[in-house]
Amino acid sequence: MNNAWSCCRASPALLLPAPLITEIGYMLYSRAGSRAEAAADASRAAHLIEQYSDLPLGTADAIVVAVAERFRAVNVATLDRRHFSVVRPSHAAAFTLLP
């Protein structure tokens, strides 16, 4: 399975409350340093926001794309088919949208 979550054996239904983003950032920083906290992801997200300004893509979706590209994940769990069906990741022809 080519999916960033496959290592966790998570069920298809994944929930990530927004406040956890801050906690995840803290854990990345405290365990792996500031480079792991994703400056590269933020830079890529900014590029994607500009590239897809006609949608508009938005920061949250752009970060999802950037992280998916970094992990070479093609499966994206989203209800936002409008954006993710248009965006073309750098590592694949398109995302596979779940559910």
Give bridge partners of residue 97 from the DSSP assignment.
Answer: 76
The rounded distance, in Å, linking the Cα atoms of 85 and 94 is 7
One pLDDT digit (tens) per residue for the chain, 99 residues: 344 444 444 455 555 666 666 776 777 677 777 766 657 788 888 899 999 999 998 888 888 898 899 889 999 988 899 999 999 999 999 999 998
Euclidean distance between the first and final Cα of the chain, in Å? 15
- 8-state DSSP, 69: H
The rounded distance, in Å, linking the Cα atoms of 19 and 4 is 21
For the question of whether the overall pTM of this predicted structure is more than 0.75, the answer is no
